[in-house]
Amino acid sequence: MRILAAMSGGVDSAVAAARAVEAGHDVVGVHLALSRAGGTLRTGSRGCCTIEDALDARRAADLLGIPFYVWDFSERFRDDVIDDFIAEYQAGRTPNPCMRCNEKIKFAALLERAIELGFDAVCTGHYATLIDGEQGLELHRASDNAKDQSYVLGVLTTEQLAHTYFPLGTTPSKAIVRAEAEDRGLTVAQKPDSHDICFIPDGDTRGWLAEKVGTATGEIVDRAGEVVGSHEGAHAFTVGQRRGLKLGVPAADGKPRFVLEVRPVSNTIVVGPKEALAIAEIAGERYSWAGAGPVDSSFACHVQIRAHSEPVAAVATVTDEGVRVVPAVPLDGVAPGQTAVLYVGTRVLGQFTIDTTVSAVPVGA
């Protein structure tokens, strides 16, 4: 196949490209410039889109003997990822920018251009596997559960899966990938993984948002509506947050309180006991299927609400209004804006963006 290898400058994408070359494919490497003013140096795991990363990707491509290009996707990234991130926080939701980047950039904008240029597939260093099932191509978890990235790929459509290539999916561990990189002479063999939001490399999401959307004083109330404090911007709070609340009125039982809800229209934060973070039901209107969708309108599955959280047994129901999921045990600290990915066994069935949640602990209980 003609393969376009997305090379971030990290060890995973470099080894994935190397394996594509070794498999006999016609491979071209590409690094995505996602910022017009990218940082010069990367600090540990901070960020993933610096000039240093681009140079690391180029060195890997040179070693592999494949053509290499840098494509400027900064405008598309700003519109589809950064602006979306800001808008979601302003709407009181907690977005996942990595999920949006996969959906809009790596497997939409990049894949579209790759197909236009005659490539058969885009190769990435994601840890996930593709299997030919009875009803077509299926997305499954990686062999290494500790590195499995199928959650952040849950947004991919059937058409996109047909043009993707994940060479690392069956690798038993990340240690094997690093050892292989060493053997191949790749200089990124021991490079740290990136864990932070790439466009907020210093990790100060609260300060970054304050610069973008400004501050506005509002009230912090308990579940009964009593004012217990104030804040300088609802965007600085997420569901489940405990620190930094600076409440002026202590709880009657003396226990700590947590953010239960963010109400952007009234610029109000609702706090309450930890028990109230337990969620008995989630629902969302925006959903997609990764391959063939469910046969029945109601079906048993497992739901995962974070990239590295444990999947929970649940029953999902699909209606004209969207997807509703009732977990077998309450979910902890779910925030609107998060992505819920549905699994059947190791297979990713699909995903939806959480719009509404129902607490397992009624007000006044």
pLDDT tens-digit profile of 126-145?
999 999 988 889 999 999 98
pLDDT tier at 45, thresholds 50, 70, 90: very low
Tell me what the pLDDT averaged over the chain comes to.
Answer: 90
CA distance 200 to 238: 17
Contact status, residue 3 vs residue 27, Cβ threshold 8 Å:
yes
pTM: 0.89
Six-digit token pair at 321?
């209004």
Q: Which of 27, 95, 144 is nearest to 286 (CA)?
A: 95
Six-digit token pair at 201?
């490399």
Average pLDDT of span 262-278: 91
Catalytic residues: 101, 198
Average pLDDT of span 320-326: 96
**pLDDT digit string (tens) for 250-269?**
888 888 999 999 988 889 99
Cα–Cα separations (whole angstroms), residue 342 to 126, 138, 305, 311: 19, 13, 9, 9
CA distance 31 to 6: 6
pLDDT tier at 47, thresholds 50, 70, 90: low
pLDDT tier at 122, thresholds 50, 70, 90: very high
Check the annotation: does 125 bind a ligand: yes
Average pLDDT of span 264-292: 92
Contact status, residue 328 vs residue 313, Cβ threshold 8 Å:
yes
The phi, psi pair for 227, rounded to 5°, reads -70, 125
Order of strands across the sheet with 68-72? 68-72, 26-33, 2-6, 121-123, 164-165
Query: Among 73-82, 195-204, 261-270, which is the least confidently predicted range?
Result: 195-204
pLDDT of residue 38: 55
Give percent above pLDDT 90 in the chain: 65
**pLDDT digit string (tens) for 178-193?**
999 999 999 999 998 8
pLDDT of residue 333: 80
pLDDT tier at 196, thresholds 50, 70, 90: low
pLDDT of residue 82: 92
CA distance 305 to 281: 12
Check the annotation: does 74 bind a ligand: no
Average pLDDT of span 229-245: 88
pLDDT tier at 235, thresholds 50, 70, 90: confident
Average pLDDT of span 80-108: 87
Order of strands across the sheet with 218-221? 227-231, 218-221, 268-272, 258-263
Check the annotation: does 9 bind a ligand: yes
Contact status, residue 314 vs residue 326, Cβ threshold 8 Å:
yes
State the residue for tokens 């911007």.
Answer: 233
Check the annotation: does 1 bind a ligand: no
Please report, to the nearest 10 degrees, the dihedral formed by the alpha carbons of residues 266, 267, 273, 275 taken in order. 70
pLDDT of residue 48: 60
Check the annotation: does 194 bind a ligand: no
Decide if pLDDT at 365 tops 60: no
